[in-house]
Amino acid sequence: MNASDLVIVGGGPAGMVAGLLFARAGARTIVVEKHGDFLRDFRGDTVHPSTLELMRELGLLEAFLKRPHDEVREITARVADRRIVVADFSHLPVACKFIALMPQWDFLDFVAEEARHYPTFELRMNAEVVDLIEEGGRIAGVTLKDGTQLRARLVIAADGRGSILRDKAGFAKRDLGAPIDVLWFRLPKGRVAHGETGGTFGAGTFVVQLDRGDYWQCAFVVAKGGASEVEARGIAAFRADVAGAAPDLADVVGELESWDQVKLLSVSLDRLETWSRPGLLAIGDAAHAMSPVGGVGINLAIQDAVAAANILAAPLSAGEPVDSRLDKVRARRLLPVRIVQRVQKAVHDRILAPTIHRRAVLQDVPLLLRLFDRLPPLRRLPARLLGLGIRREHIASPDAGLRRP
């Protein structure tokens, strides 16, 4: 089999967006995904304004927003029986001044459909990668579980926080530590004109409620490794904990009838010391696992994909060597990763861990939250950090003009 220009391992947001951009530039691209579809519950569903702006730059925004979605225009926190707006997206300098909540499988299906318009793109489902092919000191492709070898001039590892490729490549990882885990579940709700998305500080816990129109997508924060203790107490006790932490859920929490309805997310916060070696580049969670704090992990991964295409797509599609350029992707993306991880760790260590471990009950609104309430312009800063991030990427990779109707 002739080698491709690029094999991307992992059909998540980073892998699919990279596949679209590299194929658009004319690089012969194969994306391999180990599952047969994208239907996984409780994957991140937040499409931030930075990603929506990328869709606009690609001329895809109108079609994208035809997919069912909900719009979040502000983020709230509820503490000591008060509701505080902490982020207001209405002032962002972009076309879409909101976070779009869309099931991740719909997002991935949309990107896959667009990528299939390019003859240089191929998506292989049910294709699990188990090893790297190494020849002459560089990575030359991957081996699938069924023994198939896919050779390429470049392999991109976009296979998430449990990346097999970063382990096979021997990349050193720096673990920043995460003192929390998250239990995800859904609860029904009535559809309202203006939904509310935010978090509630309850008695010794923190509950996030994402308004998905006719249901809440909820995250219940527990101490690292504490999910087994919560489960041992029984589902009835868990329902009581949820209702106690977020009283507005008390009327619907009875819909949680078994642990089958609850999904554990083991939170990680880490990053690779180096993201590449000859013939191989790691991006997204494979390069830097993010906490769910702020819901920015997906969008950081997509920004990695855009940066990789901006730096590598043109020379790769022209048949030029790219090994000397691989570390430029890390150099470009390391600052925003470091800053976001530093903020997430501070939230873990200074807010969430003390609340969870000490079973603290906040009787008063902390000073910082009171400032957001008294000085509305302050809400623009977290909105910009959450919505647009740091060192935001724009589409600069070429369009080879290969798109078919």
Task: Please indicate, yes or no, whether residues 212 and 345 belong to a single structural domain of this protein.
Answer: no
Task: Please indicate, yes or no, whether residues 277 and 260 belong to a single structural domain of this protein.
Answer: no
Task: Please indicate, yes or no, whether residues 127 and 275 belong to a single structural domain of this protein.
Answer: yes
Asked if residue 9 lies in contact with residue 15, where contact means CB atoms within 8 angstroms, the answer is yes
Q: Which pair of tokens denotes residue 338?
A: 């470091």
pLDDT in tens, 324-363: 999 999 999 999 999 999 999 998 888 788 777 656 555 6
Using the predicted structure, report yes or no on whether residue 61 has a pLDDT greater than 60. yes
The domain that holds 19 is classified in CATH as 3.50.50.60
- What's residue 361's pLDDT? 58
Task: Please indicate, yes or no, whether residues 38 and 166 belong to a single structural domain of this protein.
Answer: yes
Task: Please indicate, yes or no, whether residues 45 and 142 belong to a single structural domain of this protein.
Answer: yes
CA angle 269, 302, 60 (to 5 degrees): 155
384 within a domain of the structure (yes/no): no
Asked if residue 70 lies in contact with residue 212, where contact means CB atoms within 8 angstroms, the answer is yes
pLDDT in tens, 308-322: 999 999 999 999 999
Task: Please indicate, yes or no, whether residues 9 and 140 belong to a single structural domain of this protein.
Answer: yes
Task: Please indicate, yes or no, whether residues 239 and 333 belong to a single structural domain of this protein.
Answer: no
Task: Please indicate, yes or no, whether residues 192 and 244 belong to a single structural domain of this protein.
Answer: yes
386 within a domain of the structure (yes/no): no
Determine how β-strand 82-88 pairs with β-strand 46-47.
unpaired
Asked if residue 3 lies in contact with residue 149, where contact means CB atoms within 8 angstroms, the answer is no
Asked if residue 404 lies in contact with residue 121, where contact means CB atoms within 8 angstroms, the answer is no
Residue 156 pLDDT level (bands cut at 50, 70, 90): very high
- What's residue 86's pLDDT? 87
Task: Please indicate, yes or no, whether residues 167 and 189 belong to a single structural domain of this protein.
Answer: no
**C-alpha to C-alpha distances, 14 to 19, 90, 105, 157, 306, nearest whole angstrom:** 8, 27, 13, 10, 9
The pTM for the full model equals 0.91
Write phi, then psi, for 176 (nearest 5 degrees). Answer: -85, -10
Buried b (16+ CB within 10 A) or exposed e, 334-356: bebbeebbebbbebbeeebbebb
Domain end call among 211, 241, 265: 265
164 within a domain of the structure (yes/no): yes
Any idea how long the chain is? Answer: 405
Average pLDDT over residues 54-71: 95
Task: Please indicate, yes or no, whether residues 297 and 335 belong to a single structural domain of this protein.
Answer: yes
Cβ-based burial of 358 (10 A; exposed 0-12, middle 13-18, buried ≥19): exposed
- What's residue 209's pLDDT? 86
Asked if residue 310 lies in contact with residue 356, where contact means CB atoms within 8 angstroms, the answer is no
Using the predicted structure, report yes or no on whether residue 395 has a pLDDT greater than 70. yes
- What's residue 182's pLDDT? 92
Average pLDDT over residues 172-191: 89
Using the predicted structure, report yes or no on whether residue 13 has a pLDDT greater than 90. yes
184 within a domain of the structure (yes/no): yes
Domain tally, the chain: 2
Give the structural domain span for 192: 180-223+226-265
What does the alpha-carbon distance between residue 175 and residue 313 come to, in Å, rounded to a whole number?
Answer: 31
376 within a domain of the structure (yes/no): no
pLDDT in tens, 98-148: 999 888 899 999 999 999 999 999 999 999 999 999 999 999 999 999 999
- What's residue 306's pLDDT? 98
Using the predicted structure, report yes or no on whether residue 384 has a pLDDT greater than 70. yes
396 within a domain of the structure (yes/no): no
Using the predicted structure, report yes or no on whether residue 196 has a pLDDT greater than 80. no
Cα dihedral sign, 391-175-103-97: negative
Asked if residue 210 lies in contact with residue 101, where contact means CB atoms within 8 angstroms, the answer is yes
163 within a domain of the structure (yes/no): yes
Task: Please indicate, yes or no, whether residues 55 and 188 belong to a single structural domain of this protein.
Answer: no
Secondary element (H or E) of residue 330: helix 326-347
82 within a domain of the structure (yes/no): no
Q: Which residues contact 38 (CB under 8 A, 6 or more apart)?
A: 11, 104, 105, 108, 109
Buried b (16+ CB within 10 A) or exposed e, 171-193: beeeebebbbbbbbbbbebeeee
